[in-house]
Structure 1
Amino acid sequence: MVEPLPVVVSPPSMTGGRRVRVDGQILGLAHTIADIVALLRSAGMDEADSYLVETCMFIHWKGGGPEVWSRPVNVSKA
């Protein structure tokens, strides 16, 4: 059995979206799970679907899981 390549989803950027990398190579910027699916399929992972993206162990989510798409608002006390 062939080991899947490591997929890393970066924390949400300040302007929105999360960078997606496979084996260290940037695939693109995703704003939804569907975007990640499309990026993975374009990289040859034809079996990618939303369930796989949300639940598989070879996707490493940084800065929050698949439900996090924006950075928390930093509210400072005056």
Structure 2
Amino acid sequence: MSGAPIVVHRPTPTGGRRVTAREQPLGLAHDDSDVVEFLRRAGLEGAEDLLDDPRWVEWQGGHAHEYEAA
């Protein structure tokens, strides 16, 4: 576990990835813009610049930025 406050979980069997911030659910993302919007709503502006920063975002299972069904 990286300790990053934001986790983009492994793709679901039907597509999309759950997103959590400090273990609180933010939503089901189907692309990076969904993740950015969830983080904006949670009060984190400029989130698009953080998606590839492992200090902020941990991508679990599969490849980062891929949302297709597992």
Per the alignment, residue 29 of structure 2 pairs with 30
- The structure with the largest alpha-carbon Rg is 1
TM-score, normalised relative to structure 1? 0.75
Using CA pairs below 8 Å that are at least 6 residues apart, which structure has the higher relative contact order? Answer: 2
- Taking only aligned residues, the RMSD between alpha carbons, in angstroms, comes to 1.5
Query: What is the CA deviation profile of residues 19-44 of structure 1, one whole-angstrom value per residue up to 9, with x for unaligned ones?
Result: 00000000000000000000000000
The alignment covers a number of residue pairs equal to 66
More strand per residue: 1 or 2? 2
TM-score, normalised relative to structure 2? 0.82
**Unpaired runs of at least 5, structure 2:** none
Q: After TM superposition, list the pairs within 5 Å mapping 1:34-49 onto structure 2.
A: 34-49=33-48
Per the alignment, residue 56 of structure 1 pairs with 53
Tell me the CA shift for residue 71 of structure 1.
Answer: 3.8
Structure 1 runs of 4+ with >6 Å offset: none
SS at 2:26 equivalent = strand
Q: Is the 8 A contact 1:33 1:66 kept in 2?
A: no
